Amino acid sequence: MKKLLFIVTILTFSTGTINAQNRTTTRNDIGWITTTITPHINKKLSGYIEYQFRRADYVEIWQQSLLRLGFNYKVHPQVTTHLGYGWILTFPYGEYNIAAQPRMFPEHRIYEQLVINGQAGKVSFVHRLRLEQRWLGRFVDMDQKRPEDFVYLNRVRYMLRADVPLSEKVYAAAYDEIFIGFGKNVGENIFDQNRIGILLGYKANSSFKIEGGFLNQALQLGREIGGKNVFQQNNGFIINTYLQLNND
């Protein structure tokens, strides 16, 4: 937990320093609802289905629609690898649109990740390292029906999460995840974004749990506007449900 709090403190301080410089900051209210289904295949292999319903102005307008499909392979009781594909639609929202054209754009994504679980007393930790290969649709004008082309981007993500049991079925959790863009097509956003979540969860049984709480998303646009880097400070709620389907 000390390690998690240290990382959160450093990243929060860094974000504040960045915003204090010659940059533009805009704020949005968000609401993210996620459903994750994990079908069991055998002792080591499982499928993965995830859908995220991301909204701005809490629930009034679209922010993103995100679908992930993949496979998990447990190489050790505490180590799991994952290979997946993502289909994402990002919509125009807020004062400054993510894309140059204020319209929805698609993204294809392939990703690989490594998850390591640990324990310190009653506190369980999750380290997740994810590498993403992304193809973002680019529109030159508003009248185009399909993207003119797809821009290739690389991104690496690291998340540290801590869970603390409060009772037999209730737990509290906190996590921090940082996103770093790299490669020849990366724009202004080498620091792509950072997410902090504080959650309260309920584990009904080994197959189902639900959690909800506060989410902060600090996101940097990949381009300058008016000669300034643009940051979004997005705050709101998050609700996650997990369903594990076993063949046992």
Amino acid at 211: E
Would you write out the chain's pLDDT as a tens digit for each of its 248 residues?
444 444 444 444 444 444 455 789 999 999 999 999 999 999 999 999 999 999 999 999 999 999 999 999 999 999 999 999 999 999 999 999 898 888 999 999 999 999 999 999 999 999 999 999 999 999 988 888 889 999 999 999 999 999 999 999 999 999 999 999 999 888 888 999 999 999 999 999 999 999 999 999 999 999 888 889 999 999 999 999 999 998 65
Architecture of the 2-245 domain: Beta Barrel (2.40)
Cα atoms in the Cβ-side hemisphere of radius 13 Å centred on 137: 19
Query: What pTM does this model have?
Result: 0.88
In the DSSP assignment, the letter for residue 102 is S
Q: How far apart are alpha carbons 14 and 56 in whole angstroms?
A: 25
Among 57, 69, 67, 13, smallest CA distance to 218 is for 13
Picking from 112, 127, 200, 193, the residue whose alpha carbon sits closest to that of residue 160 is 127
Domain extents for the chain? 2-245
Please report which helix (H) or strand (E) contains residue 71, including its range: strand 61-76
